Amino acid sequence: MASLYTKVKLYLEANGKSSSEIGSPNQNANVQILHEGDISSINVWNVSGLAKPNDSQLESYDSDGDTEETNNTVRNTRKKNYGDIGDQLDEIYKDIDSWKARIKSIKDANPKS
């Protein structure tokens, strides 16, 4: 199940707002999500022109949220495996075909949803 943060982010973006509205309770953000143990809740909602989502609205973002979180994990894994950009540029300069093969193998091993 997607996190509350991800579902709120998707709700905001679907309604023309930015995920930058979200912050932690110690920040002065328009949306604050409180985490207490395994329970998360919207603690503050001050988004101009957009009502706070109800539970069913948030639940409608479960599937898309799961996909987004999975793809974020894949992106982070790929980024780590790609290595430093300077090293990649050096590899491209020396042998672009081996770089292409290495990057393809990383992408094949870590497909997005």
Q: What is the mean pLDDT of the chain?
A: 95
Q: At residue 66, what is the residue type?
A: D
Tell me what the mean pLDDT of segment 8-31 comes to.
Answer: 91
pLDDT (average), residues 14-39: 90
Q: What's the whole-model pTM score?
A: 0.78
Mean pLDDT of 16-24: 92
Domain containing residue 47: 4-109
Q: Write down the pLDDT at residue 26.
A: 73
Band (pLDDT 50/70/90 cuts) for residue 60 is very high
User: Residue range 29-52: average pLDDT?
Assistant: 94
**C-alpha span between 11 and 5 (Å, rounded):** 10
Rounded CA-CA distance 55/68 in Å is: 19
Domain count, the chain: 1
Q: Work out the burial of residue 45: count CB atoms within 10 Å of its CB; fewer than 13 is exposed, 13-18 middle, 19 or more buried.
A: middle
Quick one: which H or E segment has residue 41?
strand 39-45
